[in-house]
Amino acid sequence: MRRILVFVGALALPVLAEAEVACLAGEAPGVDPADVETVAQIVCSQLRRQGEQVREASVAQGEHWRVSLRPLGRKVLLSLQHVGENGAVRREGELMLNEIEETPVGAQRLVAAVLEGRDVSSTATVDTLIGDEVRQRKKKDGEHFFGIGLMGLAVPGTDMVAGGGLILRWSFETTRLGVVADLRFAGGSPADDEASFVSIGVGGRWFASSGSWSPFLGTGLSFSGFDVREKGEFSGGQSGLGAWVEIGAEILRLYDSRLSLELRAEPVFYELQASWKGLEADGRKYYLPLTFGLTYMF
């Protein structure tokens, strides 16, 4: 009988030893002692929930789990270590909290990561994001603008000059680069020949200076409709893709609104189809529209 009891006791020793693994609060300089005790209790409770046989203790003796807190500004670094009999750290992990109140969620993830040998970031789910995982990402500065302006249209090879029109614009600008989206339309002429041009396009600009005013270069693509009526010579129109290149200057760049002056060559990727009294006739002709504009952006 005595031998049986000894044998049963020997089998039970590993279980008893496992049940005696201590879980305690470690270093926590600058953190309220009451908060330290509560955090350690939460982490130790998570260890038990995830299958570890631990007991809360105040003194480290032999193998134990150690919960540590360290402040970093307004944030708190929560760490968990599994320390062996010889004092060597067997397993460990850490997690940055935006505030100590994130401990209940953070403790669950930290314990799971340490027990499974994973990085804490791999335990994140949609409803358990904490710390730096939810911080606002810093971006470089840029500004959005809406604009309205006046434009003129000229067509080399005709006497059509100073055809008036309007510009509607959206743009995004950084110190040196910009993105521009335009709706532009113009037409008419004080001379005999007439033309009309409407386009919608998007492109980019490069600013040569970061000062209160800057010259710029720009280019982009557009979809346009273009008609030309030369008295006694040609009348026709077409629509399709085109491009634009520009030079200009932007002033008042240090303020919330600014002025943009630009001169554009807007080569279209098509020829105009001649027509007479609404009927197509043989003949095509290529024209290059030039535009100049003044746009107020706000």
- Condensed to tens digits (0 to 9), the pLDDT of residues 52-82 reads 999 988 888 889 999 999 999 889 999 999 9
Top pLDDT among 279 and 38 is at 38
Phi, psi of 19 (to 5 degrees): -70, -15
pLDDT tens, residue by residue, 37-46: 999 999 999 9
> 244 pLDDT band (50/70/90 cuts)?
very high
d(CA 169, CA 257): 13
**Stretch 281-285: mean pLDDT:** 73
Top pLDDT among 166 and 192 is at 166
> 19 pLDDT band (50/70/90 cuts)?
low
Which residues pair with residue 196 across a beta bridge?
187, 227
The DSSP output letter for 158 is: S
- Identical topology for domains 19-134 and 143-297: no
**Stretch 97-111: mean pLDDT:** 92
d(CA 234, CA 143): 45
Domain spans, the chain: 19-134, 143-297
Nearest to 179 by CA among 168, 166, 167, 170: 170
d(CA 245, CA 263): 8
Is 213:250 a contact under the CB 8 Å cutoff?
Answer: yes
The pTM for the full model equals 0.61
d(CA 182, CA 297): 12
143-297: CATH topology: Porin (2.40.160)
Is 266:230 a contact under the CB 8 Å cutoff?
Answer: no
- Sheet architecture: strand order including 75-83: 54-56, 21-25, 64-72, 75-83, 89-97
Is 142:173 a contact under the CB 8 Å cutoff?
Answer: yes
How many residues are given for the chain? 298
Which residues pair with residue 206 across a beta bridge?
177, 217
Number of Cβ within a 10 Å radius of residue 137: 4
Nearest to 251 by CA among 217, 214, 216, 218: 214
Is 182:168 a contact under the CB 8 Å cutoff?
Answer: yes
Q: What phi-psi label fits residue 294: left (phi over 0), alpha (psi between -120 and 50 degrees) or beta?
A: beta
């910009």: which residue's tokens? 178
Q: Residue 264: helix, strand or coil by DSSP?
A: strand
What pLDDT sits at residue 112? Answer: 92
The DSSP output letter for 147 is: E
Q: Mean pLDDT score of the chain, rounded to an integer?
A: 87
Top pLDDT among 149 and 136 is at 149
Q: Which helix (H) or strand (E) holds 21?
A: strand 21-25
For the domain made up of 19-134, the CATH class stated in words is alpha beta
